Chains A and B, each alone.
Chain A
Amino acid sequence: MDKEFIARGVKRCSEPKFLLWILPWIALLAFGLYAAALCLVKGLNQTNMDNRFAFGLWIFLDLTVIALGAGAFFTGFLLYILKLDALKQVINSAVVIGLVCYSGAMCVLAVDVGQPLRAWFTFWYPNVHSMLTEVTFCISCYLTVLLVEYLPIVLRNRKLRQVPEFLVFEFELHKLIYVLAGVGTFLSFFHQGSLGGLYGVLRGRPFAFREGLAVWPSTFFLFILSAAAVGPSFILLTTWMVEKIARKRLVEARVLELLGRISGLLLGVYVAAKSLDTLVWIDRTSPETGFPAVQYYAWKPFGTWILLAEIVLFGLMPALILLTPRLRAHRAWLVSAAAMACAGVALNRFVMTIQTLAVPTLSFDRYLSYTPSWQEVGTFLAVVAYGVLVYSFSFRYLQIFPAERELRVEAAGLEHELHAAAGR
């Protein structure tokens, strides 16, 4: 029934099968929406956050998805500004991932902040000296940019492009897409940075506090670098997962390797910068605030292992793998390294959000732990389900992997030749 909405020459599963795939995700989304509604209606008492843990699972999720979604701006920047044409094969997927990540983050933020009727206050009465204001403005603007970038992908749908106005508008908008890519890069640079910056300026939290350049603490630059580094890795990882689930080749191997190489290069720079920053922090910044750095790691489970895991296991190791051509050429190594890089950025955001708040800062204070309530977990899962659903529908009805058709014909050609040769 929906065949005329599916691009010519691509194979998609039958409707019942697709329905079977999306049903559990719809159920999860419904559960999550119920949990979120409880939080919005009854208030934040539905969560396990308190005055000490003002940031919890949701902010960790926001920071992580925004970092992982950075592939959208960075791929756009590499393709439209630096003219890395091979990335055409993944740019649409990157935009969908970016849109899912940013819109998901905005929804969770709306639940976290609460008072949805007053959400517009942050725009109408902005505190221009706050990093959070910069984050709010940049993310809202960038989400708008992503929606505009998503529009041509939707309008290229086989059925929609039969409408002349849509076809022409898509064509004209696509011609101006480099402007949006430039704006997206500008906005992403600042909001990724400001997300890091808002931890770096916390003088009252010496675990997170960092020195830096002018008004920007070092975390401002580290967040930008880490997001740019893992963005391509996340695209690589999701593309591989979609290939496995759909059992199709969607992009050329060289494109995945290119993503891996870009990710490895930036991850290498990030690991070097992060290591230097950590050494300066251990040697100078932390002692100057009256806390020897080793003290932060005295409380379990946050031992020094977490620092080593973040920098060595999920930073240096994937960087080395991705920078080694022989390993990169091997799909298992490539995907594992990309997954490790993504886990690394998630761990970093977890440390900055949760560990920062868990460690005591006053002499009478004590270490606190935090476990999210089921409502928090439910809302978190709603974002995951929402992401899977948007991506699934996009994959089915939109051409998010333009090379898919060609790769299928190429594979069939090879098979055909082999059969012909065997027949002879």
Chain B
Amino acid sequence: MLPWNYGFHWNAGTLVFMGAFYIVLAIVAATVIGAIERSRRALEAGKLEKIRWHSDFQDMAAGDRVCRHVLTGEFLDRKCPHDFDCRQCETHPKLIALHPVRQPAEAEDEICGMWFPLDRFYHRGHTWARPEANGTMTVGLDELASRLMGAPDSVELPQPGTRLRVNGTAFRMRKRGVDVRLLSPVDGQVVETGGADRGWYLKVKPVGRGFDVRHLLRGSEIRCWLMREMERLQLALAAEGARAPSLADGGVPMADIGAQYPEADWDAVCGKMLLEP
């Protein structure tokens, strides 16, 4: 084992065998120590939320990871390679240049009986960000998520001064024992907190050069996205044991959808719809 051990010989057999053994041990140890060191640095650099989202994103079903340009019919099939952060994407600006997003004349769009104001940007995790005149962004929950959750039992909002990151945790909600996190649509610093009764949850000021919202959905994209979200909701309900009607049956989603399907695994439905697998 070691030169001072009984029976150790400085010969080729010993050197090759023990050399290989020590190299293997060193590689395994270096891998583990390397991972620990990288973890420490990542935590210090505040990458926790980015890693959490990346990890969640990889866990999501392939059908939930499709590119926004699939929703609009520009691609037949494409998985988002950037964890829904179109700011990193080279294809997105090219497609936007080819097919600019149309801003409808109406102030809001009615989709399956739900109203979606068009003065704001929508995140795929059902939060929205509305630019305010004072340069801040108001962050809230869209109509579908509001109907999904109903009146929450509790909301855990970040303290003013908290730094939010795109796709990181914006706030958490609890309903019927299900704890779910809502994704932040923008980078910024929380300046004020609201609540379900005020119609918004957070006011956020930009950090640095202002808000970059290229990754958020807007205008004519919203309808395409929500039609698909309704299909996803039906699938999620069906998979979790609810006897949900199909879109073809007509009707509109009721407030507090969960209360209408007590037999469904609500934890799984919320996780799927709000992108927390």
Contact = CB atoms under 8 A, between A and B. Distances in A.
| B is bound to A | yes
Interface of A: 3, 8-9, 11, 123-129, 133-134, 137, 141, 144-145, 148, 161, 164-165, 167-173, 175-176, 179-180, 183, 186-187, 399, 402, 405-406, 408-409, 411-413, 415-417, 419-420, 423-424
A180 B18 CA distance: 19
A180 B268 contact: no
Counting chain B CB atoms within 10 Å of each CB, which of A168, A406, A413, A420 scores highest? Answer: A168
Contacts of A173: 31-32, 35
Contact of A415 (B13, B42, B238): B238
Contact of B246 (A405, A409, A416): A416
B206 interface: no
Contacts of B35: 169, 172-173, 175-176
Q: Is the interface of B mostly helix, strand, loop or mixed?
A: helix
Given A9-B272, A164-B43, A180-B31, 17 more contacts: A8-B267, A8-B277, A9-B265, A123-B1, A125-B5, A125-B6, A128-B14, A141-B24, A141-B28, A168-B42, A171-B42, A171-B51, A172-B38, A172-B42, A176-B34, A409-B61, A420-B249
27 contacts: A9-B265, A9-B268, A9-B271, A9-B272, A125-B5, A127-B7, A128-B13, A141-B21, A148-B28, A148-B31, A161-B55, A164-B43, A165-B39, A167-B48, A168-B51, A171-B54, A172-B35, A172-B38, A180-B31, A183-B24, A405-B61, A406-B63, A408-B239, A409-B63, A409-B236, A412-B238, A420-B246
Interface string B17-46: 110010011011001101110110011000
A8 B25 CA distance: 37
Q: Is the interface of A mostly helix, strand, loop or mixed?
A: helix
B176 interface: no
Interface of B: 1, 5-7, 13-14, 17-18, 21, 24-25, 27-28, 31-32, 34-36, 38-39, 42-43, 47-48, 51-52, 54-55, 59, 61-63, 234-236, 238-240, 244, 246, 248-249, 265, 267-268, 271-272, 276-277
Nearest to A417: B246
Contact of A124 (B1, B32, B42, B48): B1
B204 to A, nearest CB: 22
Given A408-B239, A416-B235, A141 B25 contact: yes
Nearest to A405: B61
Contacts of B21: 137, 141
A124 B5 contact: yes
Contacts of A9: 239-240, 265, 268, 271-272, 277
9 closest cross-chain pairs (CB), A and B: A412-B239, A416-B238, A9-B268, A173-B35, A420-B246, A406-B61, A8-B271, A128-B17, A172-B38
Given A164-B48, A169-B36, A405-B61, A186 B24 contact: yes
Contact of A126 (B1, B27, B234): B1
Contacts of B31: 148, 173, 176, 179-180
A350 B276 CA distance: 49
Contacts of B18: 126, 128
A11 B52 CA distance: 23
Contacts of A183: 24, 27-28
Counting chain B CB atoms within 10 Å of each CB, which of A179, A409, A415 scores highest? Answer: A409
Contact of B17 (A11, A126, A145): A126
Contacts of A399: 59
Contacts of B62: 406
Contacts of B17: 126, 128, 133-134, 137
A230 to B, nearest CB: 25
B196 to A, nearest CB: 23
Contacts of A169: 35-36, 39
Contacts of B272: 9, 409
Contact of B39 (A128, A172, A406): A172
